[in-house]
Structures are given as structure tokens and as C-alpha cells.
Amino acid sequence: MAAAASSSCGGAGCGPHCSSSSAAAVEDASAAAAAAAEKMGRLSLSRECGKCGGGGGAVAVAGGLGLCGECFRANLFGKFKLAVTSNAMVRPTDSVLLAFSGGPASRVALQFIHEMRSKAIESWDASNSQALPVFGIGVAFVDESIMYSKLKHEIEMAIEDMRSIASSLSTGVKALHIVPLEDVFSTESEDGEGRLREAVDMIGDDTGREDFLRCLRMLSLQKIAMENGYAKIMLGSCASAIACHVLSATVKGQGYSLPADVQYVDTRWEVPVILPLRDCLAQELTLLCELDSLKTQQHLDRPSNGINSLVASFIERLRILPVGENLNEHFFSLLPKFWTGKVDTVSASHSLLR
């Protein structure tokens, strides 16, 4: 017994079965697994794929069925393709303008729509009749550097990366449109920069400015589409982004427009807007970019201090909230950051909900 006890002292003479070294190895492995899960957005890790039954590492988002890398990718692509085909989003005669922001969602949308086009071209080449054409793809990026001077250099670098990404696609894109936001206000006789700054300066709160700029981005995309003959505008809005929009719109009293906002196809605009990633989660798209080494531009995230940022933080916290933690505590701890001068009101509301 004494000999057994001495073998677990952890000293230099301990053998490979020393309990101290084994415990340290287990701790290191647990720490590595926890770090990997956190990096991938709280992914559950399993040893085999629940779809094909293959061995090797499998991943599952938010505790779902474990899938290997290939099945995980096929599952996401299947969601995208089903949304496009079942809702008649893209027809063979269409030209589609993809709004590219540099984030994981728009990057995955670009990759998937490119793959659909590649397969359509292969089918067209193999067809004897070749009666139907293959839809075209264009990419648009709205340059907002005029509003965020600190990001100007980063945006210039990101634009070069976007050109590289577009040129690397095997079937190519119809065009890459880089359009300054102020072009929405431009006329033949007047530059739009001054008019844009004047309009933004008239809005006194951060949330109002964010909503106004969001509207201008859509108007800019509409202008690009109409001037270049695109039939549809594709956005990379995923289920997570739509959840944030639903909450923030409800808080701001804009619920009347929500039914149209969350549809696969929004026909309120002159050029219809389509959302093929509506059934995909943000962490799934981020993981796919990691697995396929798809380059993204996360540093282009716009500074935000309004209610939209509060809701996004709330949704993110809800996704990673440990069991038993009080969500109200986190929510109310964020409010003073956005509603300065109303700390007493926030504290009173918090006490009523305890």
C-alpha cells in the first residue's frame, strides 16, 4: 500500500501510471476542449457522426445532433438550396445581386450561390437542348467609411480582399460593385457627402442613426440593382440576425412591418429581397467558415451604442447562458450603458422584477 501511495507523489521518479500526471493530463484535455468549444460558439463535441455514422470528430450546434464536417456542410447547403428552390427565389433568367458585408453569413451565401451556379452550368453544358440560361451573380459592397473614419484603412484593405475573393470563384461573378453610401444623395449638380452628413446630424440618438443608415444601405442596394439590371437582391440575414431584428423592432414599436421583414422573399421593394439563410444560425455559419477556411472581415463590425446593440448582446448572452444563471441580471446590467441618465429608472424596474 505504501508503495502504491508513493507512486502517486508526482516526483521526477514517478512512472507513467502516476495519478498526479494522469490528473494533469485530464485537466489539460478538458481545458483544450473547453477552449475549442468556446471558439466555435459553444459547440457540443461528440465522437461520431449521427447521420453517416462515421468516426472522427463530430460537431453539433447548441446541443443538436452531432455531424461530421462533410455532413454538417451538406446540411447547411441543403437548407440554403431548399430555401432557394422551394420559394422560387432564383430563376434561370435572373441576375442576383448579393449584398456582401464581409461577415460569415454573406461569405457563406456567396459560396453557396456560387456552388449552385456551378452545378447549373454543368447541367446546362450536359444538356442537349440548352434551352434555359444559367442565372448570373453580382456582388455589392456599400462603403460606409465616410461615417466611420477610424475604419477607413480597414475598409480599403477589406475591399481588396473582396476583389480577390470574387476573382477566385471558378465561374466568376457578373460584377463587383463598390459603392459609397453617400451616392444615395448624389445628384448631377450636387455631391452627396454634405447632404448625407447633414441628414445624419439631424438625428439625435444612436438608435435612430443606426436605423437610418440601415435604410440607406438598402436604398443603395436597390439603386445598384436597378441600374445594372439585377432581378433579386440576396441578403445574408440568418436566423440569429432575424431574432435580433424581431426583438429590437418590437421594442421600438415597429411590429407592423415584422411579418414582411422575416419572409423568405420581401416584395415590398422594387427589386425583391431574398433571405436564403433564414433557417441557419450564426454560429453554424461561423463554424462553416472555420472548417472551409473561408476568409471573413469581422473587423468591419460597425460601432454601435443603440438599442440594436443591446438586443444583439442580449441574444448572444441568451445563447451562451450557463444553466441556473439569472438572465435578468445580465439584461439590466447592460441598460445603463445605453440609457445614460436613467439609472434610477433602470434600478427601480430591476427591483420590481426580482
> What is the pLDDT confidence band of residue 109, given thresholds at 50, 70 and 90?
very high
pTM reported for the whole predicted model: 0.74
pLDDT at 5: 44
Please give the average per-residue pLDDT across 105-118, as a whole number.
91
> What is the pLDDT confidence band of residue 51, given thresholds at 50, 70 and 90?
confident
pLDDT at 2: 45
Among the residue ranges 62-76, 256-270, 319-333, the one predicted with the least confidence is: 319-333
CA distance 217 to 348: 38
pLDDT at 67: 77
CB 111 within 8 A of CB 294: yes
pLDDT at 170: 67
Instruction: Please say if the pLDDT value at position 234 is more than 90.
Output: yes
pLDDT at 61: 52
CB 174 within 8 A of CB 316: no
CA distance 52 to 47: 12
pLDDT at 248: 86
pLDDT at 270: 95
Enter the C-alpha cell of residue 103: 461577415
CATH class of residue range 88-308: alpha beta
Enter the C-alpha cell of residue 107: 461569405
Please give the average per-residue pLDDT across 199-224, as a whole number.
91
CA-closest candidate to residue 104, choices 290, 312, 338, 336: 290
Percentage of residues in the chain having pLDDT higher than 90 = 22
CA distance 42 to 248: 24
> What is the pLDDT confidence band of residue 153, given thresholds at 50, 70 and 90?
confident
Residue 233's beta-bridge partner residues? 97, 273
Instruction: Please say if the pLDDT value at position 278 is more than 50.
Output: yes
CA-closest candidate to residue 200, choices 214, 187, 213: 213
Cα 320 to chain centroid, rounded: 17
For all residues of the chain together, what is the average pLDDT? 75
3-state SS, residue 234:
strand
CB 68 within 8 A of CB 52: yes
Which of 6-15, 206-215, 299-308 is modeled with the greatest confidence?
Answer: 206-215
3-state SS, residue 241:
helix
Among the residue ranges 102-116, 127-141, 178-192, the one predicted with the least confidence is: 127-141
pLDDT at 104: 92
More confident of the two residues 68 and 150: 68
CA distance 105 to 195: 32
pLDDT at 10: 47
List C-alpha distances in Å: 344 to 121, 309, 332, 339, 347: 63, 22, 12, 11, 5
CA distance 114 to 112: 5
Domain ranges of the chain: 43-86, 88-308
Hey, what amino acid is at 78?
G
CB 210 within 8 A of CB 306: yes
Among the residue ranges 4-18, 68-82, 122-136, the one predicted with the least confidence is: 4-18
pLDDT in tens, 155-174: 788 888 888 888 888 666 77
Instruction: Please say if the pLDDT value at position 125 is more than 80.
Output: no
Q: How many CB atoms lie within 10 A of CB 313?
A: 17
Please give the average per-residue pLDDT across 132-139, as a whole number.
82
pLDDT in tens, 323-342: 444 444 555 555 555 555 44
Please give the average per-residue pLDDT across 236-251, as a whole number.
88
More confident of the two residues 126 and 17: 126
Do the bridges between strand 273-274 and strand 232-234 make them parallel or antiparallel, or are there none, so unpaired? parallel
CA distance 90 to 79: 15
CB 196 within 8 A of CB 184: yes
pLDDT in tens, 23-41: 555 566 556 555 544 544 4
CA distance 296 to 290: 10
